[in-house]
Amino acid sequence: MTAKKLGLKQRYAHMTRGLDWETSYQPMDKVFPYDTFEGIKIKDWSAWEDPFRLTMDAYWKFQAEKERKLYAVIDAFAQNNGQTGVTDGRYANVLKLFLTGISPEEYQAHRGFAYAGRHLRGVGPRVAAQMQSLDELRHIQTQIHTISHYNKYFDGLAEFPHMHDRVWYLSVPKSFFDDARSAGPFEFMIAIGFAFEYVLTNLLFVPFMSGAAYNGDMSTVTFGFSAQSDESRHMTLGIEVIKFLLEQHPDNLPIVQKWVDKWFWRGHRVLGLVAMMMDYMLPKPVMSWKEAWEIYFTEAGGALFQDLARYGLRPPKYADIATAEAEHISHQNWAIFYQYTHAAAFHTWLPDAKHMDWLSEKYPNTFDKYYRPRFEMWGQMAKEGKRFYNMALPQLCQTCQIPMGYTEPGDPTTICFRKTQFRGETYHFCSDGCKDIFEAEPEKFAQAWLPVHQIFQGNCGGATIPDVLNYYRMNVGADNMDYVGSPDEKLWNEWQADKIRTAV
Q: For residues 34 and 305, which CB has a smaller minimum distance to other proteins in the complex? A: 34
Mode of pairing for the β-strands spanning 418-422 and 411-415: unpaired
Burial 163-175 (b: 16+ CB within 10 A, else e): bbebbbbbbbbbb
> Which residues, in sequence order, are CB contacts of 475 under 8 Å at separation 6+?
155, 158
**Min CB(205)–other proteins separation in Å:** 17
CB 311 within 8 A of CB 246: yes
**Min CB(4)–other proteins separation in Å:** 6
Q: For residues 311 and 449, which CB has a smaller minimum distance to other proteins in the complex? A: 449
**Min CB(47)–other proteins separation in Å:** 20
Q: For residues 57 and 384, which CB has a smaller minimum distance to other proteins in the complex? A: 57
| Cα distance between residue 333 and residue 100, in whole Å | 17
Q: For residues 107 and 198, which CB has a smaller minimum distance to other proteins in the complex? A: 107
Q: For residues 15 and 321, which CB has a smaller minimum distance to other proteins in the complex? A: 15
DSSP 445: H
**Min CB(359)–other proteins separation in Å:** 33
**Min CB(185)–other proteins separation in Å:** 8
Q: For residues 24 and 414, which CB has a smaller minimum distance to other proteins in the complex? A: 24
**Min CB(136)–other proteins separation in Å:** 9
> Packing angle between helix 218-248 and helix 252-276, nearest 10 degrees?
160
| Amino acid identity at 449 | W
DSSP 28: H
Give the distance, in angstroms, between the CA of residue 170 and the centroid of all CA atoms in the same chain: 11
Q: For residues 121 and 331, which CB has a smaller minimum distance to other proteins in the complex? A: 121
DSSP 41: -
CA distance to 15, 94, 227, 230, 277, per residue, from 57 (Å): 11, 36, 19, 16, 39
> Which residues, in sequence order, are CB contacts of 493 under 8 Å at separation 6+?
89
Burial 310-331 (b: 16+ CB within 10 A, else e): ebebebbbbbeebbebbbbbbb
**Min CB(117)–other proteins separation in Å:** 5
**Min CB(163)–other proteins separation in Å:** 10
DSSP H helices, 81-152, are: 92-97, 103-119, 123-151
For residue 50, is it left (φ>0), alpha (ψ between -120 and 50) or beta?
Answer: beta
Q: For residues 182 and 229, which CB has a smaller minimum distance to other proteins in the complex? A: 182
**Min CB(231)–other proteins separation in Å:** 15
**Min CB(367)–other proteins separation in Å:** 34
CB 301 within 8 A of CB 199: yes
Nearest Cα neighbor of 157 from 86, 204, 93, 89 is: 93
**Min CB(211)–other proteins separation in Å:** 23
**Min CB(36)–other proteins separation in Å:** 10
| Cα distance between residue 105 and residue 168, in whole Å | 16
DSSP strand E in 172-264: where?
A: none
Q: For residues 34 and 358, which CB has a smaller minimum distance to other proteins in the complex? A: 34
As to burial, measured by CB atoms within 10 angstroms (0-12 exposed, 13-18 middle, 19+ buried), residue 53 is: middle
| Amino acid identity at 285 | P
**Min CB(2)–other proteins separation in Å:** 9
| Cα distance between residue 69 and residue 126, in whole Å | 29
Percent helix / strand / coil, the chain, rounded to 5: 65, 5, 30
Q: For residues 162 and 249, which CB has a smaller minimum distance to other proteins in the complex? A: 162
Nearest Cα neighbor of 351 from 278, 274, 269 is: 278
Q: For residues 151 and 341, which CB has a smaller minimum distance to other proteins in the complex? A: 151
